[in-house]
Amino acid sequence: MSTVTDAFGKARAEDRAALVGYLPAGFPDKSTAIKAALAMAAAGADIIEVGLPYSDPLMDGPVIADAVYRALRGGTRIADVFDTVQAIADAGAAAVIMTYWNPVDRYGTDAFARDLMNAGGAGLITPDLTPEEAAPWLEASDSYGLDRIFLVAPSSPEHRIAEVTSVCRGFVYAVSLMGITGTRAAVSSGAAALVRRTREHTALPIAVGLGVSNGDQAAEVAGFADGVIVGSAFVRLLADTTDPAAAVAAVRDLTADLATGVRHR
208 DSSP 8-state letter: E
Q: Is 49 a catalytic residue?
A: yes
Report the b/e string of 150-184 with b at 16+ CB within 10 A: bbbbbebeeeebebbbebbbbbbbbbbbeebbbbe
Give me the sheet containing 147-149, strands edge to edge: 147-149, 123-125, 94-98, 47-51, 18-24, 227-230, 206-209, 172-175, 151-152
Report which of 84, 178, 97 is spatially closest to residue 137, judged by C-alpha positions: 97
Look up 60 and say whether it is catalytic: yes
Question: Is the alpha carbon torsion for 177, 5, 123, 261 positive or negative?
Answer: positive
DSSP type of residue 154: T
Residue 32 · residue 71 · CB < 8 Å = no
Task: Please say whether the beta carbons of 127 and 101 come within 8 A.
Answer: no
Provide the β-strand partners of residue 206: 172
Catalytic residue among 14, 15, 46, 60: 60
Instruction: Determine how many CB atoms are found less than 10 A away from the CB of residue 110.
Output: 14
Identify the active-site residue in 49, 115, 220, 226: 49
Catalytic center residues = 49, 60
